[in-house]
Chain A
Amino acid sequence: MNEIREDAAAPAPRAGRGGVDWHDPVLKARLAIRKRRERRLRLFGLLAVVFAFAMLGILVASLVRTGAPAFTQTHVTLRVHLDPKRIPPDNINRGNYRAVIKQAVLALFPEVKNRRKQREIVKIVSKGAPWILRDMVAANPDLVGRTITVDLPVSDPFDQLYKGLIDRSTPEAHRRLKDEAISRFDSLVARGLVRAKFNTYLFTNPDSRFPEIAGLGGAIMGSFYALLTCFVLSFPIGIAAAIWLEEFAPRNRLTDFVEININNLAAVPSVVFGLLGLAVFLGWFDLPRSAPFVGGMVLALMTLPTIIIATRTALKAVPPSIREAALGLGASRQQVVFDHVLPLAMPGILTGTIIGLAQALGETAPLLLIGMNAFITAIPDSPFAAATALPTQIYIWADSPERGFVSRTSAAILVLLGFLVLMNAVAIWLRQRTERRW
């Protein structure tokens, strides 16, 4: 390398009359090097940004690619006779809806008499369809005795087939769906009875072992209750701690120690908080397992340091002149804090809180430890009812053998990402709307 060195050891430039000789080749070469270095730096910076975006793009693209099929669900249109003999009007919950649906499906293939084949045909409709029908009848008991046209979800293998996720060219012996079943299903498609509809179950239903009717309803409510608990606990406690540390605490070793540990706490892995929750909340306090309330308490422990740090930064950013002016006019320390400093710091505090909560929303490990990864076919109606949360639901689905859960796992991740983006967007919007420059 015959690079020209730039340090003091380089020969001094021959100065022109009263200044620098800009035509000096040594100086020119040095300048060229400096410019080249800057270009290189810019290029690397740009490359880093492109790389980061490419990774994000690949992640989102792969999620969208595998998750997209889960946003539609294949339905088959059936004419169902709600026979009062099968569905006693005085006991709608105990009706034999399975038989009613079976009759409707078999009516589409009147030529099939063989019992075994009939059983195969019934498998086209989801096993969860009787419950959907029951809920419909329970909501509207007048339907009993009538013949209605309903769209019911088809079972997962046929859903996969209709979406083109099953390769028809694989030899029959290697397929779950045999040629006969496929040709029957195709005849339904040809008759115009099969349709893909937007998958509302994905958002409204609780979990199910049948992918076609499994949804995130329980997980979304579980996450909501957990975050609510987390907010109600960590927001006031975090602000109180930050105000004391920032406005009232004396500067001594003890407060230094407290400060350092709050910063340390922010870096503690979340699974540790989960173990703490398991030992303290479940072990000593005997709180229920799998409850979003307990999940929220654990997440609150995790979010607290974030909120304290964000609040302190926001309080620090309020200029001392405001405090001094208020004190000068005779306000007490408490009045200064609550009437002047805190309202001015609120935008910063809220932004920090939302970011902390968004972090808590995506947290899985502590929730697994307190049992929020259970299988529950009901949507929780209180923070104390057992529930899952969005990330733990993803965890459960990722581990399920049914094919349909592959796309639903990706779809659930997209839903979670959607909530995270939404929360961060609110934080940014809030900051921009309310930010004050001094």
Chain B
Amino acid sequence: MKFLSVTLAAAGMATAFAGAAHARNEIRVVGSSTVFPYTQAVAEEFSGKYPEYPAPVIESTGTGGGMKIFCQGVGEAHPDIEDASRAMKPSEWALCQKNGVDDITEAMIGYDGLSIAVSRSNPTAWNLTKAQIFKALAKEIPTGDGKLVPNPYRKWSQIDPNLPDIPITVYGPPPTSGTRDAFVELAMHEGCKELPEVQALKKGMDKKAFKKWVKTHCSPMRQDGPFIEAGENDNLIVQRLEADPNALGIFGFSFLYENEDKLKAVSIEGVAPSPETIASFEYTLSRPLFIYVKNAHRGVIPGLKEFLEEYASEDALGPDGYLVERGLVPLPDDLRAKTRKILLDAVPMKAPGAQ
């Protein structure tokens, strides 16, 4: 069988070839699914402008997963840029240091709002406080004496008689998502702290212990039905909200922005999400977004400089930039100038928590 020997030889050759073909020319980015659409846009503009460089490869791995890959080491086998929907954690910094990734530039690129939305066919003008959100979605509710009881609320009207008399149904992201991390931190923890029972508890504790108490007791989301984990796919949540007018959904602001004809935003403490209210932090469910650049790769990976120039350009990050068109909330002028300087001059970041 000649055929057999030919294929065998081809297989052998291909394996041998694999090692040789490994020199990397393209820019590699990993990280947050929230920052992904923005880096995607920059990558596409970059390849449009510089067809002589290979197209960058952008992977959406989630912030935490991306940090693990990013901090694996310096060199062709490791990515150049990390997208992050939160700042680098000290533990991730330590991992990077351990693996020789010690020269990193951290640049804030803009803000992202977490939105809670409901179908347009729902008649209520929704406005929730963080405490109400916490009561609706927490696994356990603190009582006066430092104890916790399983969440008793099944209907919005049980939390506040002014809220509609419908069952609580909220679709949200799973624990692996950065959006979920941000939601827990910005809405659940804050809402929990606002409860008078927790306020009373705070007085008897030192700051650190209280922080830890909040983290352990205010983070768990309820698992008895009203909160439904809808997977990482935000489009799916949008479709479910359309089908069920009484359901609320939690997702990134860009999805609300794209589906404004079907969905309306829930105001938080009287403020509806909009680019203006998110940038001014008046809308409190907003967070900064970052990119991290491995400085040792500058000048080694072709086109990295041009890519970062594109990222920092006014065309991209500016108030009329194409990232804003995709739903990014732009930085104010002074911070934008700072980001540009940091990115282009490769200013190394300090250890997190050291500032």
What is the interface of chain A, defined by CB distance below 8 A to chain B?
Answer: 93, 127-128, 130-131, 134, 166-167, 170, 174-176, 206, 208-210, 229, 232-233, 235-237, 239-240, 285-290, 293, 338, 342, 371, 373-378, 382-386, 398-403, 406
Contact = CB atoms under 8 A, between A and B. Distances in A.
B14 A382 contact: no
Given A174-B261, A287-B18, A406-B235, A374 B1 contact: no
Interface in B315-332: 322, 326-327
Contacts of A93: 51-52
Chain B interface extent, by class = 35 or more
A195 to B, nearest CB: 25
15 contacts: A128-B48, A134-B48, A167-B261, A170-B261, A174-B120, A209-B41, A286-B22, A287-B22, A289-B59, A290-B57, A371-B61, A375-B58, A399-B60, A402-B258, A406-B235
B128 interface: no
Contacts of B149: none
A288 B17 CA distance: 12
Interface string B248-261: 00000011011111
Contacts of A134: 48
A239 B43 contact: no
Which of B22, B26, B48 gathers the greatest number of chain A CB atoms within 10 Å? B48
A394 B229 CA distance: 21
A236 B36 contact: no
A399 B24 contact: no
A378 B8 CA distance: 31
B43 A377 contact: yes
A375 B28 CA distance: 10
Interface string B44-67: 100110011011111111000000
Nearest to B231: A399
B254 A401 contact: yes
A127 B55 contact: no
Contacts of A236: 4, 7-8, 11
A374 B30 CA distance: 9
Interface in B2-27: 4, 7-8, 10-11, 14, 17-18, 21-22, 24, 26
Contact of B43 (A167, A240, A375): A375
A388 to B, nearest CB: 10
B154 to A, nearest CB: 31
B59 A371 contact: yes
Contacts of B52: 93
Contacts of B33: 399
Given A236-B7, A406-B235, A286 B59 contact: no
B22 A288 contact: yes
B181 interface: no
A385 B77 CA distance: 14
B157 interface: no
A232 B10 contact: yes
Contact of A176 (B11, B51, B235, B261): B261
A374 B83 CA distance: 13
Contacts of A382: 21
Contact of A378 (B18, B47, B59, B60): B47
B164 to A, nearest CB: 21
Contacts of B124: none
B40 A401 contact: no
Contacts of A288: 21-22, 24, 77
A293 B18 CA distance: 8
Given A176-B261, A377-B55, A378-B55, A233 B77 contact: no
Contacts, number: 118
Given A206-B55, A406-B235, 11 more contacts: A175-B261, A235-B7, A236-B4, A236-B7, A287-B22, A375-B60, A377-B47, A378-B47, A378-B55, A399-B33, A401-B257
Nearest to B320: A119
Contacts of A290: 57, 59
Nearest to A384: B21
A418 to B, nearest CB: 23
A404 B1 CA distance: 50
Interface in B119-138: 120
Nearest to B255: A401
Contacts of B232: 399
A401 B262 CA distance: 13
A406 B44 CA distance: 21
B37 interface: yes
Given A376-B57, A399-B235, A166 B261 contact: yes
A209 B40 contact: yes
Closest 10 CB pairs of A and B: A378-B55, A375-B58, A384-B21, A386-B57, A374-B59, A401-B258, A377-B55, A374-B57, A236-B7, A375-B40
A288 B24 CA distance: 8
B55 A376 contact: yes
Nearest to A294: B18
B28 A293 contact: no
B223 interface: no
B18 A403 contact: no
B233 interface: yes
Which of B14, B57, B264 gathers the greatest number of chain A CB atoms within 10 Å? B57
B74 to A, nearest CB: 14
B103 interface: no
A290 B22 CA distance: 12
A386 B26 contact: yes
Nearest to B322: A127
A274 to B, nearest CB: 14
A11 to B, nearest CB: 59
Nearest to B52: A93
A31 B255 CA distance: 66
A383 B14 CA distance: 9
Contacts of B17: 384
Nearest to B264: A174
A232 B37 contact: no
B234 interface: yes
Contacts of A209: 37, 40-41, 44, 326
A94 to B, nearest CB: 8
